[in-house]
Structure 1
Amino acid sequence: MPTHGKSVILESGKRGIHQSGKGAVFAEDGSCKTCCGCEPFLLASATTNRNNPPWNLTPYQGEHMAPPNSYWRLIEMGSCYPGWHPWYGAGCVNGSGRLVGLPNQFQSNYYYNGYMQLQIGCLDPADPNYILWPGSCQSRTPRYSC
């Protein structure tokens, strides 16, 4: 029976709205099927320097933060220099959507204001040896293992 925000399309699943706002197919238990795909997105951002308090990352450590089996990275964004944006952490997202290995906080050691992003990336459907990231700088990088 259809429910608010979902409608039955097959006995094996339901159709709903993915975090990206696009349609998705979910199993009866609410998990996203492989055919849902994955859309890279920005989970959080902060501007910080060594004089600011640490950026608290604990709000992003729970379950259902990102699509299962996707990737995360903590990256400093600025001018789009080819091949250069410092990464301050990276890891995988487990089956429950938890960002494995995400630190509790980020503390900048720089005097300048750095624009930090916590990004969620997805395997490139055209070549699973690469990860696609949101934005236009380093938007495709080699896949790493966790």
Structure 2
Amino acid sequence: MATAGKAVVRPGGKRGVLVGGKAAVFDSEGQCPTCCTCEPFVLGSYTTHRTYSPCWDLTPYQGPGKAPPGSFWRLIEMGSCYPSSYPWYGAGCVNAEGRLVNLPNQFCSNYYYNGYLQLQIGCLSPDGTQILWPGTCRTPTSRYSC
């Protein structure tokens, strides 16, 4: 019986430790669920301003091996925790090669203030219904399809 502070391994399953040091429970086939192989992280960040630094070159983040296959990406403006959400400027999925599908070559701002942008990689929640994102204001979002 499970109690607070205890891990229970179901029959046929086994415990293991992921590369990042987190504990994981594998199924009877020895497979780790998708949610335990992905850790949300910030792939890149840039401060835009219409006059001083209007465009962020996103080509270094294109190509294979940039993020875990099956994860998600979003281009988002950060700041103090917005009341409901942050402004998004693009989002998509990561394919089997680890490539951010449909990531544009650049993002250009028309705003006259410093916009702190992040290219974030998100992961599915354990139940597969939400995407978990990195950061201090980690508001999960509904899972979207690509």
TM bucket normalised to smaller: 0.7 to 0.9
- 1:55-70 matched pairs, under 5 angstroms: 55-70=56-71
Corresponding residue number in structure 1 for 2:143: 143
Task: Read off the aligned partner of 2:43 and give its amino acid letter.
Answer: L
Q: Over aligned residues, Cα RMSD in angstroms?
A: 2.3
- 1:100-139 matched pairs, under 5 angstroms: 100-125=101-126, 127-139=127-139
Q: Which runs of 5+ in 2 are unaligned?
A: 1-15, 24-30
Q: 1:17 to 1:62 in 2, by over 3 A?
A: farther
Query: TM-score, normalised to structure 2's length?
Result: 0.75
Task: Read off the aligned partner of 1:133 and give its amino acid letter.
Answer: W
How many Å apart are 1:114 and its aligned residue? Answer: 0.5
Q: How many residue pairs were aligned?
A: 122
- 1:1-146 matched pairs, under 5 angstroms: 18=19, 21-22=20-21, 34-35=32-33, 37-51=37-51, 52-125=53-126, 127-146=127-146
Distance 2:107 2:32 in 1: 32
How many Å apart are 1:137 and its aligned residue? Answer: 2.2
Distance 1:89 1:34 in 2: 29
* Cα pair 2:130 2:140 within 8 Å, conserved: yes
Distance 2:17 2:50 in 1: 43
How many Å apart are 1:34 and its aligned residue? Answer: 4.7
Distance 1:110 1:91 in 2: 24
Distance 2:54 2:135 in 1: 26
| Runs of 4+ residues deviating >2 angstroms | 15-18, 21-24, 33-36, 136-139
Distance 2:17 2:58 in 1: 29
**DSSP-derived class of the 1:128 partner:** coil
- Seq. identity, %: 67
How many Å apart are 1:16 and its aligned residue? Answer: 9.9
**Which protein has the larger Cα radius of gyration, Structure 1 or Structure 2?**
2
